Amino acid sequence: MTWLAWRQFRMQTVVAAAALAAFAIAFAATGPHLASLYAASGLSGCHGGRCQHLANNFLGQLGGTYGVLWTLAVAIILLAPAVIGLFWGAPLIARERETGTAALAWNQSITRTRWLAVKLTVGGLGAMALTEALSVMQAWWAAPIGRALGYGGGAAGILSQGRFSALVFASHGITPLGYAAFAFTLGVTAGALIRRTLPAMAVTLAIFAALQIVVPLWGRPHFFPARQAVVSVASLQEISLTQGGLDGSSFTLHAMNIPGQPADWLLSSGSVNAAGELVSTTPAACTAPSTEDGPNFLPCLASHGIRETITYQPASRFWAFQWTETAIYLALALALAGSCFRQVSRRRS
């Protein structure tokens, strides 16, 4: 049965292996140069304030090629589970039902349970291995960039995405494993219930995409209780500031990163007064045009006791988050697999 499962997955495996090989070549071609640039930047073992400056120098050196390759790899890693769910998972049972080959397979001398178990294992393990392999390759290649970001480097376009950013979190670490397993079993289940390949593919895509939007937005931030920090408004480096109302009487200030903690995951921020209440009214003294539009606006707010409160998840929890999200998706995958077995054994029609 293992032979048959592999034989039926042959084409899909070849395509996936080819894609993997293509990326391997691209990474091998550009990786060493990237590493040598990093070595020359003097960032290894750097301590102190000038590290951020060095990091920015290093990141600024990277030409467009690196950005393109990085983006392409991340995109493929993010898409891979969906593609697997559609082309490996959905047809697994549905196609056999549609073409009638299920009658051929299920009347040999093995039970349906064994048939499905082998196919799920071969397909599931293959899916996880391929997706994770691509993720690991990309992580190895992009390691220097990650380290530079850790030193507070930024302003390098797409390469500045932190570990907790939506794109990076979903394509690095072990989450690709969970997504691949889930999308695959989702496809198989959809095929088992719907019994026709194309509708099963559509449903798989819809559900997987929905989850990939819902979980990062409303699930992931709440895996662990967030921490709060109150920082001086003047120490903020990257901000989003809007001023409005008559005579600039109101303002909205959001911090885009946490001073001194570049790798932490910033969830939300808001301005509070000395009593800790949220404020959006500009103090009268700071509404003068010269102050409002200049670099003194933030110090002016600070002098009136306005500070920024930031809700965040510390960088040290990165792996806790990874494990939690992967565990959730793997649990879903197992539940779906279980329902597949029930579906296949039920001999209603």
Partner 1 sequence: MTAVIASEGLGKRYRRLWALAECTLSIPAGRVVGLVGPNGAGKTTLLSLATGMLAPTTGTIEVLGGRPGAGPGQLARVGYLAQNAPVYAELSVSDHLKLGARLNPGWDAALAADRIKRLDLDPGRKAGTLSGGQRAQLALTLAVAKRPELLLLDEPVASLDPLARREFLQDLMEAVAEQQVSVVLSSHLISDLERVCDYLIVLVGSRVRVAGPVEELLASHHLLSGPRRDPATLPAGQQVISASHTDVQTTLLVRTSGPVLDPAWTVSGVTMEDLVLAYMSQAGLGRSRRHLEVQQ
Could you say whether residue 111 binds partner 1 (CB under 8 A)? Answer: yes
Give residues 195-254 in contact with partner 1 (rule: CB under 8 A). none
Q: Which of 110, 139, 202, 288 binds partner 1 (CB under 8 A)?
A: 110
Could you say whether residue 7 binds partner 1 (CB under 8 A)? Answer: yes
DSSP 176: H
Could you say whether residue 47 binds partner 1 (CB under 8 A)? Answer: no
As measured in angstroms, the least distance from the Cβ of 349 to partner 1 is 6
- Enumerate residues 6+ apart whose C-beta is below 8 A from 222: none
Could you say whether residue 349 binds partner 1 (CB under 8 A)? Answer: yes
As measured in angstroms, the least distance from the Cβ of 323 to partner 1 is 38
Q: List Cα–Cα distances, 157 to 44, 53, 73, in angstroms.
A: 22, 16, 16
Q: In this chain, which stretch among 105-113, 251-259, 268-276, 310-318 interacts with partner 1, using CB under 8 A?
A: 105-113
Could you say whether residue 121 binds partner 1 (CB under 8 A)? Answer: no
Could you say whether residue 107 binds partner 1 (CB under 8 A)? Answer: yes
As measured in angstroms, the least distance from the Cβ of 108 to partner 1 is 4
Strand residue runs (E) in 82-214: none
Could you say whether residue 99 binds partner 1 (CB under 8 A)? Answer: yes
Q: What crossing angle do the helices spanning 175-194 and 318-345 adopt, rounded to 10°?
A: 20
Query: Which helix H or strand E contains 311, and what residues bound it?
Result: strand 307-313
Could you say whether residue 342 binds partner 1 (CB under 8 A)? Answer: no
Q: List Cα–Cα distances, 47 to 52, 54, 194, in angstroms.
A: 10, 11, 59
Q: In this chain, which stretch among 7-15, 122-130, 231-239, 326-334 interacts with partner 1, using CB under 8 A?
A: 7-15
Q: Are residues 204 and 89 in contact, defined by beta-carbon separation less than 8 angstroms?
A: yes
Could you say whether residue 327 binds partner 1 (CB under 8 A)? Answer: no
Q: List Cα–Cα distances, 111 to 6, 185, 303, 345, in angstroms.
A: 18, 20, 76, 9
Number of residues forming the site for partner 1 (CB under 8 A): 22
As measured in angstroms, the least distance from the Cβ of 204 to partner 1 is 22
Which residue matches tokens 């993720």?
Answer: 135
Could you say whether residue 104 binds partner 1 (CB under 8 A)? Answer: yes
As measured in angstroms, the least distance from the Cβ of 97 to partner 1 is 11
Q: Is the dihedral of CA 271, 272, 278, 282 positive or negative?
A: negative
DSSP 221: G
| Interacting residues with partner 1 (CB under 8 A) | 1, 3-4, 7-8, 11, 99-101, 103-111, 114, 347-349
